[in-house]
Amino acid sequence: MNKSTSNRDSFYGHIAQTSDAPMGLEISHAEGPWLYTTDGRRYVDFISGIAVSSLGHRHPEVVDAIRNQLDRHLHVMVYGEFIQKPQAEFASLLASRLPSNLDRIYLVNSGTEANEGALKLAKKHTGRSRLVAFRNSYHGDTHGSLSVTGRDIYRDPYLPLLPGVTFLDFNDPSGLGNIDEDTAAVILEPIQGEGGIIEADPQWLEKVRERCDETGSLLIFDEIQSGFGRTGKLFAFMHYGVVPDILCMAKAMGGGLPIGGFASSGAIFEAFRHDPPLNHVTTFGGHPLSCAAALANLQVLLRPGVMERAAAIESRVKETIRGKGVVGVRGKGAMLGMQLESYEITRKTVEFALERGVLLGWTLHSNTLVRLAPPLIIDDDLLGEVLQIILESLGRAHQN
Ligand code: PMP
């Protein structure tokens, strides 16, 4: 049995499966926008590992930072007891780029953990338990995050979830009266990702902020997918000028290593310090390797022209694809979606593009939307080639 066959067998035999039809590409290595497979092919990663590798795979400065940290120390102590340089440097650089009410961060390992922590923090700080969330949202697959995820088919098998969650329609101001004095937090994605790349309406978002202020409820923005430059600014809320009380992040934060976090003010974070002390701890949250990677990733992102590239990608993609057999192209920066008319056309377009070496994908809640989330470092020539392949795949999908 050759090595490749045995890896395939082990994958299907011993890795718990979550899909009836996994893509099953066997990865050899990855560099920049490229994924290389063991059969000698290469693919443009046009979904960036689902909005993770915004600087491409193995950005040299991120890899160097990980190597340097590797020679100093790995895990040394649970979260928040020791002063660790990579954590401290990352947190202070991030704080320098965030509004002053988001100058503290609690570091975790993943997106869903960031949301879990944010929900607990809001409950503890306000002394309230009601939560308001939105239909079509996605916040993660652990119990708390799933409790505020707005799609029944994912929730139903796991009921009962957290009590006291009210779902409202995204972008509909008429329901906002449901945010009341018993509401601990309102959680939303400024751009719904898995819901199919749906941007918040700026006026609606302002109204949500106002209603939270009136009722003393905390506003949580889940920017796990939209953060770290994906939309052309460090966070999507910066396009809107509406500032949350708690900001959740993960995915692209670690430049390819697992890390997440939720940022808020010192006053709000007081709730985690007492009654009882240590009431929210994690062993690996803010792992030094991940923080070293996150620091290098952020330093590169903040250089002139890096995040700005997202706007150029957006206009090129929209100009090239709009009106060419698609219902529409929407989204901001490099967080884009191509709306097609049927599942069949969508499935075939993704399949044909893969044959031609371009990796596209769906979003979790929509099977007629193709996710377009290229790395920000993709150059104009390669972007042009990929868009051509997408157009040809679309054309073929319509003929078949
Ligand atoms: N929130 C949003 C908006 C997401 O897109 C995701 C992941 N798709 C999550 C939370 C969960 O993140 P993770 O998979 O790291 O737990």
The reply to whether 244 and 347 lie within a common domain is no
The reply to whether 150 and 246 lie within a common domain is yes
- CA-nearest of 26, 31, 20 to 41 is 26
| Residue length of the chain | 400
pLDDT at 309 over 80: yes
Pocket flag, ligand 1, residue 363 (CB < 6 Å): no
pLDDT tens by residue, 69-82: 999 999 999 999 99
Domain final position from 284, 301, 318: 301
Choice from 251, 262, 362, 364 to test ligand 1 binding pocket (greatest atom count within 8 A of CB): 251
Give the pLDDT confidence score for residue 325 in this predicted structure: 87
The reply to whether 286 and 364 lie within a common domain is no
Tell me the CATH number at 156: 3.40.640.10
Give the pLDDT confidence score for residue 2 in this predicted structure: 56
The reply to whether 233 and 319 lie within a common domain is no
Q: What's the gap in Å between 235 CA and the centre of ligand 1? A: 15
Provide the mean pLDDT of the chain: 97
Contacts of 13 (CB under 8 A, 6+ apart): none
Q: What's the gap in Å between 189 CA and the centre of ligand 1? A: 10
Do 138 and 153 touch, CB atoms closer than 8 A?
no
Q: What's the gap in Å between 222 CA and the centre of ligand 1? A: 8
Q: What's the gap in Å between 72 CA and the centre of ligand 1? A: 31
- CA-nearest of 163, 94, 153 to 301 is 94
Q: What are the helix (H) ranges across 104-151? A: 111-126, 143-147
The reply to whether 13 and 119 lie within a common domain is no
Domain final position from 268, 301, 334: 301
Choice from 116, 192, 225 to test ligand 1 binding pocket (greatest atom count within 8 A of CB): 225
**Which residue's C-alpha comes closest to atom 13 of ligand 1?**
111
Pocket flag, ligand 1, residue 111 (CB < 6 Å): yes
What is the total count of domains within the chain?
Answer: 2
Give the confidence band of 275 by pLDDT, cuts at 50, 70, 90. Answer: very high
How far CA 201 is from CA of 98, 191, 192, 198, 315, in Å, comes to: 22, 9, 11, 9, 20
- Strands (E) in the chain, as ranges, are 27-31, 34-37, 42-45, 104-108, 130-134, 165-168, 183-188, 191-192, 198-199, 218-222, 246-249, 260-264, 328-332, 335-339, 358-359, 361-363, 366-372
pLDDT at 1 over 60: no
Pocket flag, ligand 1, residue 224 (CB < 6 Å): yes
- CA-nearest of 301, 387, 238, 258 to 56 is 301
Pocket flag, ligand 1, residue 112 (CB < 6 Å): yes
Most confident of 192-196, 321-325, 362-366: 192-196
pLDDT at 386 over 80: yes
Structure tokens at 256: 């390819």
Give the separation between CA 6 and CA 224, rounded to whole angstroms: 35
Give the confidence band of 281 by pLDDT, cuts at 50, 70, 90. Answer: very high
Q: Reduce the DSSP state of residue 91 to 3 states and report it.
A: helix
Give the confidence band of 5 by pLDDT, cuts at 50, 70, 90. Answer: low
Pocket flag, ligand 1, residue 248 (CB < 6 Å): no
pLDDT at 100 over 90: yes
Q: Does this model's pTM top 0.85?
A: yes
Mean pLDDT across 252-279: 97
Q: What's the gap in Å between 399 CA and the centre of ligand 1? A: 35
Choice from 115, 220, 224, 335 to test ligand 1 binding pocket (greatest atom count within 8 A of CB): 224
The reply to whether 293 and 360 lie within a common domain is no
The reply to whether 235 and 355 lie within a common domain is no
Give the pLDDT confidence score for residue 394 in this predicted structure: 97
pLDDT at 204 over 90: yes
Tell me the CATH number at 380: 3.90.1150.10
Pocket flag, ligand 1, residue 144 (CB < 6 Å): no
The reply to whether 244 and 319 lie within a common domain is no
Residue 255 sits in which domain range?
A: 61-301
Give the pLDDT confidence score for residue 3 in this predicted structure: 56
Mean pLDDT across 338-342: 96
Q: Reduce the DSSP state of residue 216 to 3 states and report it.
A: coil
Pocket flag, ligand 1, residue 250 (CB < 6 Å): yes
Give the separation between CA 201 and CA 197, rounded to whole angstroms: 13
**Which residue's C-alpha comes closest to atom 15 of ligand 1?**
111
pLDDT at 119 over 80: yes
Give the pLDDT confidence score for residue 128 in this predicted structure: 98
pLDDT tens by residue, 130-179: 999 999 999 999 999 999 999 999 999 999 999 999 999 999 999 999 99
pLDDT at 254 over 90: yes
Minimum-distance ligand 1 atom for the alpha carbon of 251: 15
Give the confidence band of 4 by pLDDT, cuts at 50, 70, 90. Answer: low
Place of tokens 């046009």: 46
The reply to whether 285 and 346 lie within a common domain is no
Do 297 and 228 touch, CB atoms closer than 8 A?
yes
Mean pLDDT across 361-380: 95
Strand order across the beta sheet in which 260-264 lies: 104-108, 260-264, 246-249, 218-222, 183-188, 130-134, 165-168
Q: What's the gap in Å between 381 CA and the centre of ligand 1? A: 31
Q: What's the gap in Å between 332 CA and the centre of ligand 1? A: 18
Give the pLDDT confidence score for residue 358 in this predicted structure: 98
Residue 276 preceded by cis peptide, ω within 30:
yes
Amino acid at 173: P
The reply to whether 363 and 221 lie within a common domain is no
Domain final position from 301, 328, 344: 301
Q: Reduce the DSSP state of residue 304 to 3 states and report it.
A: coil
